Amino acid sequence: MYSIKDVSRLCGLSAYTIRFYDKEGLLPFVTRNGSGNRQFSESDLDMIRLICCLKNTGMQLKEIKRYIDLFMEGDHTIPCRKQMMVGHRASILRQIGELQKQLGVIETKIAFYEAANGADSCCCLKTEAPKEK
């Protein structure tokens, strides 16, 4: 069994975020110990990792909650959950396609700058790479 801090470390979420997810109903499967503290099992961890995966691929928390709700309802919702994942796969493929398209635009822009100016000159070496993920 893991504490909230363990999960935070293992899943790369802050403890705040984990509590927030719980409050939002994303973690109804998490149990408590005698003193009311959350305790997470290995399978809870797996579920949280799946939640992160869905979130990182652009699924909204309320949609993830819908998935979790189905999960809690039992095996008879498997076809429905599968349906959601199939839809989400399509969404991810769309995103990848879109990113690849936009990548082309940026490539063109870079090529333009390459042509407009000498190879490696830079007026502003302190420019750090954008931090967006």
Partner DNA sequence: GTAGACCTTAGAGTTCCATCTAAGTCAAGC
Partner DNA sequence: GCTTGACTTAGATGGAACTCTAAGGTCTAC
Residues near its own copies, by CB under 8 A: 50, 53, 56-60, 63, 75-96, 98-100, 102-103, 105-107, 109-110, 113-114, 116-117, 121-124, 127-130, 132-133
The answer to whether 57 and 18 are in contact (CB under 8 A) is no
Site string for DNA, 31-60 (x = CB under 7 A): ---xxxxx----------------x----x
Spatial separation of the C-alpha atoms in residues 78 and 23, rounded to whole Å: 25
C-alpha gyration radius of the chain: 21
The answer to whether 21 and 54 are in contact (CB under 8 A) is no
Minimum distance, C-beta of residue 106 to DNA, in the bound complex (Å): 17
Name which of DNA, its own copies, none residue 36 binds, using a CB cut-off of 5 to 8 Å depending on partner kind.
DNA
How many residues comprise the chain?
133
Is 31 or 95 the residue whose CB approaches its own copies more closely?
A: 95
Segment (H or E) for 108: helix 78-116
